[in-house]
Structure 1
Amino acid sequence: MRTARQILAEAHTIAVVGASRDPQKPAHWVPKMLQEQGWRIIPVNPYADRLFGEHAYARLADIPEHVDVVEVFRPSGDAPEIVREAAAIGAGAVWLQLGVISEEAGRLARSAGLGYVEDTCMGMERTLADMVHGGIRPGSTVYHGIEPEAERPGVLADHG
């Protein structure tokens, strides 16, 4: 079973069910941030024509291209039906955002062979992994450019 980071690293196209027009909501700024980091975002919202500069679709079934991950910003009770729809369009995984939990959706996803993540913010996972589209950035020190004294040329470390 793939981990959340593996699912995100392997994804190119993310359909966002429940994408919001309100820039104050996570259902707006999380997919927008992912788009800015290189993922193709397809908004799914029956009340919007365009979001994030992209055509918004009313349903997953309306999307005319392959979807790698279906990100869900809907109530937990909607998750099982969204998993069924994701399986029907051939998506590779379903990702339930932070606070969205469904045992039934998990069972359905596993039985359909879909990757599955629940109760996890995709944006937080991306940030923690320092990930951009296509994988994790090359390694860097935690201090981003500040070298520990022992690693600087000509400086001896005091080991005590």
Structure 2
Amino acid sequence: MDLAEQALTDAKTIAVVGLSRNPGKASHGVAMQLQKAGFRIIPVNPDADELLGEKVYRSLTDIPEPVDLVDVFRPAEFTPEIARQAVAIGAKTLWLQQDIVSAEAREIAESAGLTYIEDRCTAVVRTLARITKP
């Protein structure tokens, strides 16, 4: 089992940063697939109130419950601040979606002991490894 598979296997609650209101966007489809596989999804989007039947939070630091994995659908230039917030809330993993790479976010996350994954899709990893939650 690789690091990405292990991170998803260990996670129950996933904050999806940049979850779009548009059902045609990748973030929406990926979050929906994770939700259907049994993960608890917490949307993070400053421009929505409810997505996928869940209350939306403006930032990671507004979430009032523990988060295992932070799944990021935002451009690379925003990821260092997201990494800082992931550290601040005690997340275990920071995961930057496919085509998102940030040396600075990696340094922030790994220095704080978080598992760091970049340029991979949570939905693809979950599907290939057949990871579901009861």
TM > 0.5 between the two?
A: yes
Deviation of 1:107 (Å): 1.0
Distance 2:131 2:70 in 1: 18
Determine the structure 1 residue equivalent to 2:67. 67
Distance 1:133 1:105 in 2: 28
Partner of 2:23, secondary structure, is coil
Deviation of 1:94 (Å): 0.4
- Tell which has more relative contact order, 1 or 2 (C-alpha 8 A, sep 6+): 2
Partner of 2:15, secondary structure, is strand
Distance 1:45 1:57 in 2: 6
Gapped runs of 5+ residues in structure 2? none
Gapped runs of 5+ residues in structure 1? 135-160
Determine the structure 2 residue equivalent to 1:54. 54
Matched, 1:114 2:122: no
Question: What is the correspondence of 1:144-159 to structure 2 with a 5 Å cutoff?
Answer: none
Deviation of 1:115 (Å): 0.7
Partner of 1:116, secondary structure, is strand
Determine the structure 2 residue equivalent to 1:126. 126
Q: Which amino acid aligns with 1:65?
A: E
Q: Tell me which structure has the larger Cα radius of gyration.
A: 1
Deviation of 1:130 (Å): 1.4
Deviation of 1:133 (Å): 1.9
Distance 2:130 2:119 in 1: 20
Q: Which amino acid aligns with 2:118?
A: E
Question: What is the correspondence of 1:20-99 to structure 2 with a 5 Å cutoff?
Answer: 20-99=20-99
Partner of 2:84, secondary structure, is helix
Partner of 1:16, secondary structure, is strand
Deviating more after overlay: 31-40 vs 124-133 = 124-133
* Matched residue count: 133
Distance 1:114 1:64 in 2: 20
Partner of 2:74, secondary structure, is coil
RMSD: 1.0
Distance 1:8 1:133 in 2: 10
Determine the structure 2 residue equivalent to 1:153. none
Distance 1:9 1:25 in 2: 25
Q: Structure 1 vs Structure 2: percent identity of aligned residues?
A: 54
Distance 2:78 2:100 in 1: 9
Partner of 2:86, secondary structure, is helix
Distance 1:91 1:131 in 2: 20
